[in-house]
Structure 1
Amino acid sequence: MKTLVIFHALCILLILGYCDVTQAQINEDTVDHYATAKASENKGIDFDENTLFSPFTKQEWRSYQEKKINEGRKTLLNFTITYKNKTAVKDANLYMKQLTSDFHWGCGMTHRILNNTAYKKWFASKFTAADFHNELKWYYTEPKQGEENYTDPDAMIKFADEHGIIVRGHTILWDDVKYQQKWVRKLSPDKLLEAANKRVDSVVKRYKGRLIGWDVMNENLHHNFFEKRLGKNSSAYFYNRVYNIDPSTTLYMNEFNTTEQVDDKWASPEKYLRKLKAIQAYPGNSGMKMGIGLECHYGAEPIDLHYVRNSLLSLSQTGLPIWLTELDVKMDPTLPNKTQLQVIYLEEILRESFSHAAVKAIVIWTGSSIDGCDVMCMTNEKLENTPVGDLIDKLMVEWRTGSIKVVSDSNGSSQVSVFNGQYEVTVVDPVTNASTSVSFKVDKVSIPDKVIHLQIPG
């Protein structure tokens, strides 16, 4: 009985719950409401940020997510198709193919990928972004003072470059004392500053212009190794040093529990923003490009989606890009049906996160169990999908336009809503099969009037 009670407690999502769940049956259909008091299935509700704590059904919550996705991630295009003489082309076939997406699916990567051809092919076929687990960290590249080794990150970045995968630099420095090399811990403040400056200069100059961003001082809300030894402005100082070396690259604060834990006193959205503003206010940092890095290591406890939503809303007010940098969901290994619950929790986090347009990328932690799978993986060592992998594959398809066909009406017009990204469009005359092709960027600013004029030869 005790096990069953604990199990049902863990199945509560939000304030709200995954209710009436038995140990024998856990699937999407069992999630029958999204609040302690169930709202009417027929109740028409128009969500806004002032009604976040009202009782809504799952259907209503999901409808709001879809509304925000349509508003923030998609663009409604109007095509007009004519001949050279301006005559409208009726029944013209218009084929659209999405080449790239404005949203990045990313994955954690380790040096194990370097000698595994199948894993390379799998990774490159799915992801457009990567975070290295350890290979760019100071303790990896300089385990002994003065003996730097960039062999692995050099090869990993080369692989990424060859396959159009953007890489985040994770991380230049880490504020947690337990991740400092023994020789670093022994340094006096003056020698520590000298060594840290050398580290910054070495790694940033080496990869200048090749990375999409840098985690400059990792987890500097929960930890303060450098602040205690070098002063309270040491984070801001190192951001400034990186900025002066590589001014075009986005610099991130990367932190855990800003969306995961409502009761974490160190990393609330308010404290995150306070620290970020302090870094921006440091002399010389006013023009620095900054971004928000959220690790998103969700634990086995129920996930409060209301808190996730409010946190993302608060952070998005900065106008800065948000990356979910290390997303996973940890489950109690003794919990019955833990795999099904992990997929359910993960889907809710992914859908809620994707509904915020400020979230530019989600990095899954980790891809294959080849890289180790202590929390969550998409595949086993044979690169066969886990249930988590099946879910992510499904959402990758759902959140991409792919290839579509539309037909013009009698006025030569057609309309289609597509996910933002780069497209190739071919229009074909229904009578002569004459065609023309164009490529263009679709987003909220590239096509101001949302109208595209295409002309068929003839």
Structure 2
Amino acid sequence: MAIDCSISLRSDDKFHGNHSLMVSNRHHSWSSARQKFAVTPGKNYVISMQIKLLNLPSGRHYTKVTLANNLTINGQQKNNVIANLPLQQLRFGWTEISGDFLALNGATSSEPYIQIGEVGVNYLLDSVSVTELEPNPNWLTEANQRIDKLRKAPISFKLPDGVNAHGISVELVQQKRTFAIGTEVDASYMTDQTHKTYQDFVFKNFEWAVLGNALKWRQMERTEGHINYDRPLNAVAALRSHGIKVRGHNMFWGVDHYVPEWLSGKSQSQLLTTMKNHVHDVISRTRGKLEHWDVNNEDLHGDWYERHTGDPDITEKMFQWIHNQEPQVKLFLNEYNIISSSTETTALRNQALHFKRDGVPVYGLGLQGHFFTSHIDIDVLKYRLDKVAEAGLKLWITEFTLSDHDFNRKAANLEKVMTLFFSHPAVEGVLFWGFWDGRIWHKSDALFTGPNISPNAAGQKYLDIFHKTWKTNFVHDIQPSHTVHTSGFLGEYLLNIKKNGHLIHQEHFSLDSLGKDITINLTNDRQGVSHVVFG
């Protein structure tokens, strides 16, 4: 069905099969081909299609394509956006646009359609599909099986034959995880000794951190030429001195009201020079101190730099500038509405694929995960993770929050969502966007409260996960000619060898996916045990 537009078949340009559908002569932004189908209330559905733009608005390098849905509920029409392609260019050719939606109570039918604000834009459609997203009642069992396979590895200990092993025991103490677990921190609090309770809590209960605001250009340099490096660099130094790894957030942020105001008066050439100088100046001070950089934060939601440089591919160039300055640092696209909504899930996946094809040095995708616990559906969340993982890049949950005043419900949902993240093969880490009600944007997101940073039920669940559930501590007596087998979570370990309860040797080792075979060679000298051989 055509709504205020012309529809024709094209056989010379199609994505699959014999024909595609050409949409032209559009009179409104919502003029589109449409197909209505029946839905069942309470079910989740995925709509997917391929689109190819045939032209762009005059003087524009890109446009925004929206997949909307007209849902009939108790005879009334309810329109909502399922997916956006905010920066769609002609050179992208055939591009998937897809998203999921829930058929609400009383829903009887769905009618998806394409919206493009500029009515002169014509396009092709092909490979349209609707799929019911089946619930998986066994998701938790399967997730725990994946955790055992992906996040753990075998460890064995043995003594050579004929050794007097009376009273010998081994103790494994995991000191760091390969899987990153961390939090956003306030840079000023990390260096002000009046907030030592806050600092000690971070050092004890997280292994990664990200500065909330202190590395953002607008906050660092509100007046041109007057930039505050001390605040972020002192905080980074404090974190690193306690073994905390730090993400860089962010080099650029293209949402209009987060751009330094003084950039607006510059010509395109002046702007580019200033941007390159900013990268050089920041990297020259942070080189080797940060593990990651979010390069152009929320690029799908803000195109200030594209508009003002006149370059639709300016974000790709930002990646290259940073990479040229510091090739070792890992570079990220960081976005919201990827897993808490489907509106930009496929757009980020597409953007990552385009970057990879263009040779852009992108390492991973940062997925902001801000959730209301009453709206979490594990099946939908896994679908979105799987979808964005199709780009073939590592995923990091960079801004995880759960908003709920019911702390017990929040604790249960935190365990479920963290388990899904930990079990997903593409996810490498989870960072909370704050943890304490004394320093957090939304109080309902807090896991800890009060001057002593005391855990609520959700905070206690986090502490159990961090210190017990996903951390290996193992003690076992060992006998000659007998091999002890166990497994541990991947990461850094301290091995203690004791005799009759007294420490006689220590050794550090790393456990990766290949596992570790350890032969304890008891060659006695003045100190007791002198050799531990790793096979």
Query: Same fold, TM exceeding 0.5?
Result: yes
Of 402-411 and 131-140, more deviation after overlay is shown by 402-411
**1:56 CA displacement:** 4.3
Alignment TM-score, normalising by the size of structure 2: 0.67
CA deviation vs aligned residue, 1:25-62 (integer Å, no higher than 9, x gap): xxxxxxxxxxxxxxxxxxxxxxxxxxx955544xx322
Q: Answer yes or no: is 1:365 the counterpart of 2:443.
A: no
Tell me which residue corresponds to 1:234: 314
Alignment partners' CA distance in 2, 1:13 and 1:79: 52
Alignment partners' CA distance in 2, 1:91 and 1:151: 53
Q: What is the one-letter code of the residue matched to 1:246?
A: E
CA deviation vs aligned residue, 1:132-153 (integer Å, no higher than 9, x gap): 1111001111101121111210
Tell me which residue corresponds to 1:347: 415
Residue from 113, 122, 127 that aligns with 2:190: 113
Of 305-314 and 171-180, more deviation after overlay is shown by 305-314
Tell me which residue corresponds to 1:376: 445
Preserved contact between residue 159 and residue 480 of structure 2 (Cα < 8 Å): no
Q: Answer yes or no: is 1:123 the counterpart of 2:202.
A: yes
Residue from 268, 274, 291 that aligns with 2:350: 274
Q: Answer yes or no: is 1:70 the counterpart of 2:148.
A: yes
Distance 1:182 1:433, change over 3 A: closer
Residue from 152, 157, 160 that aligns with 1:82: 160
CA deviation vs aligned residue, 1:49-107 (integer Å, no higher than 9, x gap): xxx955544xx322111111100111122222225x6x595884221111221122211
| Greater radius of gyration (CA) | 2
CA deviation vs aligned residue, 1:344-364 (integer Å, no higher than 9, x gap): 333221111111243222111
Give 1:397-408 correspondences, 5 Å limit. Answer: 397-408=467-478
Alignment partners' CA distance in 1, 2:297 and 2:313: 15
Q: What is the one-letter code of the residue matched to 1:251?
A: L
Alignment partners' CA distance in 2, 1:185 and 1:348: 45
Q: What is the one-letter code of the residue matched to 2:312?
A: K
Preserved contact between residue 427 and residue 456 of structure 1 (Cα < 8 Å): no
Tell me which residue corresponds to 2:180: 104
CA deviation vs aligned residue, 1:12-35 (integer Å, no higher than 9, x gap): 99969xxxxxxxxxxxxxxxxxxx
Residue from 329, 337, 344 that aligns with 2:402: 329
Tell me which residue corresponds to 1:37: none
Q: What is the one-letter code of the residue matched to 1:354?
A: F
Tell me which residue corresponds to 1:425: 495
CA deviation vs aligned residue, 1:380-409 (integer Å, no higher than 9, x gap): 241122333112111112343343212336
Tell me which residue corresponds to 1:27: none
Alignment TM-score, normalising by the size of structure 1: 0.78
SS of match in other structure, 2:454:
coil
Q: Answer yes or no: is 1:456 the counterpart of 2:504.
A: no
CA deviation vs aligned residue, 1:138-197 (integer Å, no higher than 9, x gap): 111110112111121021111112111111110000111121232223433333222222
Residue from 139, 145, 165 that aligns with 1:61: 139
Of 209-218 and 154-163, more deviation after overlay is shown by 154-163
Residue from 377, 385, 390 that aligns with 1:312: 385
Distance 1:54 1:345, change over 3 A: same
Alignment partners' CA distance in 2, 1:441 and 1:188: 52
**1:317 CA displacement:** 5.1
Alignment partners' CA distance in 2, 1:205 and 1:362: 28
Tell me which residue corresponds to 1:206: 285
Alignment partners' CA distance in 2, 1:305 and 1:355: 12
Tell me which residue corresponds to 1:441: 510
Tell me which residue corresponds to 2:170: 94
Of 250-259 and 366-375, more deviation after overlay is shown by 366-375
Preserved contact between residue 172 and residue 217 of structure 1 (Cα < 8 Å): yes
Preserved contact between residue 92 and residue 412 of structure 1 (Cα < 8 Å): no
* Unaligned 5+ runs, structure 2: 1-40, 46-131, 525-535
SS of match in other structure, 1:200:
helix
Preserved contact between residue 429 and residue 456 of structure 1 (Cα < 8 Å): no
User: Hey, which of these two has a bigger chunk of helix by percent?
Assistant: 1
Q: Answer yes or no: is 1:244 the counterpart of 2:324.
A: yes
Tell me which residue corresponds to 2:4: none
Higher RCO, 1 or 2 (CA under 8 Å, sep at least 6)? 1
Distance 1:14 1:452, change over 3 A: farther
SS of match in other structure, 1:248:
coil
Alignment partners' CA distance in 1, 2:454 and 2:476: 35
Distance 1:429 1:300, change over 3 A: closer
CA deviation vs aligned residue, 1:191-250 (integer Å, no higher than 9, x gap): 322222222222122101110010011011222111222211100011000000010000
**What percent identity do the matched residue pairs reach?**
21
Cα RMSD between the aligned structures?
Answer: 2.9
SS of match in other structure, 1:406:
strand
Distance 1:13 1:158, change over 3 A: farther
SS of match in other structure, 1:258:
coil
Alignment partners' CA distance in 2, 1:434 and 1:397: 23
Residue from 228, 241, 244 that aligns with 1:162: 241
Distance 1:304 1:222, change over 3 A: farther
SS of match in other structure, 1:394:
helix
Tell me which residue corresponds to 1:192: 271
Preserved contact between residue 259 and residue 296 of structure 1 (Cα < 8 Å): yes
Distance 1:356 1:90, change over 3 A: farther
Q: What is the one-letter code of the residue matched to 2:178?
A: D
Alignment partners' CA distance in 2, 1:175 and 1:113: 28
SS of match in other structure, 2:332:
strand
CA deviation vs aligned residue, 1:304-342 (integer Å, no higher than 9, x gap): 2222212323444555332111100234xxxxx643333
Distance 1:75 1:178, change over 3 A: same
Distance 1:371 1:14, change over 3 A: farther
Q: What is the one-letter code of the residue matched to 1:80?
A: K
